[in-house]
Amino acid sequence: MTDTLSQDILVHTEDGVCTLTFNRVAKKNSITQAMYGAMAEALAAARQDAAVRVVVFQGDLAIFSAGNDLGDFLNAPPRSLGEETPTLRFMGELADFPKPVIAAVCGPAVGIGTTMLLHCDLVYAGDNAAFSLPFVNLGLCPEFSSSLLLPQMMGHHRAAEALLLGEPFLAEAALEVGLVNRVVPPNECNALAQRQARKLAAKPLSALIESKRLMKMGQATLVRKQMLEEGQSFGRMLHEPAAREAVSAFVEKRRPDFSKV
């Protein structure tokens, strides 16, 4: 079954696997509020649908996601990430989703395109994948509990390099630190994710759900607490001089000057 909750998010369910595809390639799969809403709705439906046993996220072979659509974000910025927005609903649905979640990542995965992977259970990457977390470069702070989960995964020093410098790191580096499970040629990535999803879908769902719950129970409360703390900081920093300078530079197509902020 194929559904389209948003023309930019395709939802296809078959053989127990619900696949969500970023379908906005002309805009580098940058994510709008409508797309966040569509993904939150799809996850909520998949949670309740007994026929869905696994969820897969995928993008294009050349681009996973450029992160937030900045134009859409500027038109209706949240007062904070604690405000009830489509973005927050998506974050909550993915962070708490009880069934296995797989991601297939090819090309750039920017901002939330990378932080959402921290809440997936299996991640497969094309060898053209590039992960980046440019929050500081926008005068902002990390989100989606990445300031908690990345240091746990990578260690403090590598996480600091990723979050403070905001420079891309490639698929092999992501494999080394445990962000991805396997690196393959881009034209094999989505198919690999689907094969793994079907393996999981053939297993007893109750055992999958309980195993995932047990693996995550020690950090579930911490993740939610960190998301709230990040959201409060993010909302405050949106209105501070550094973020305003970053936005102005984006609009004016120039390099930002943070020397006075």
Q: What are phi and psi of 207, to 5 degrees?
A: -70, -40
Domain, as residue range, for 58: 2-186+205-212
Q: What is the spatial distance between Cα 136 and Cα 150, in angstroms, rounded to a whole number? A: 15
Tell me which residue of 70, 76, 57, 63 sits closest to 29, measured CA to CA.
63
Q: In the chain, where does DSSP find H-type helix?
A: 33-48, 70-75, 86-95, 112-115, 146-154, 156-160, 171-177, 186-201, 205-216, 220-237, 241-252
Q: Is residue 245 part of a domain?
A: no
The whole-number pLDDT of residue 76 equals 65
Q: Is residue 25 part of a domain?
A: yes
Record the tokens describing residue 57, joined without a space: 């996220």
Q: Is residue 109 part of a domain?
A: yes
Q: What is the spatial distance between Cα 67 and Cα 143, in angstroms, rounded to a whole number? A: 12
The whole-number pLDDT of residue 250 equals 82
Contacts of 44 (CB under 8 A, 6+ apart): 93
pLDDT digits (tens, 9 = 90+) for 76-109: 665 544 457 899 999 999 999 999 999 999 999 9
Q: Is residue 159 part of a domain?
A: yes
| Low-confidence winner among 82-86, 226-230, 245-249 (lowest mean pLDDT) | 82-86
Are residues 59 and 22 in contact, defined by beta-carbon separation less than 8 angstroms? yes
Question: How many structural domains compose the chain?
Answer: 1
The whole-number pLDDT of residue 78 equals 59
The whole-number pLDDT of residue 239 equals 87
Q: What is the spatial distance between Cα 157 and Cα 259, in angstroms, rounded to a whole number? A: 25
Q: What is the spatial distance between Cα 58 and Cα 64, in angstroms, rounded to a whole number? A: 7
Q: Is residue 250 part of a domain?
A: no
Q: Is residue 72 part of a domain?
A: yes
Tell me the CATH number at 23. 3.90.226.10
Are residues 60 and 104 in contact, defined by beta-carbon separation less than 8 angstroms? no
Tell me which residue of 4, 105, 124 sits closest to 63, measured CA to CA.
105
Q: Is residue 193 part of a domain?
A: no
The whole-number pLDDT of residue 247 equals 84
Q: Is residue 125 part of a domain?
A: yes
If DSSP codes are grouped into helix, strand and coil, which group holds residue 101?
Answer: strand
pLDDT digits (tens, 9 = 90+) for 168-193: 999 999 999 999 999 999 999 999 99
| Low-confidence winner among 39-48, 112-121, 196-205, 246-255 (lowest mean pLDDT) | 246-255
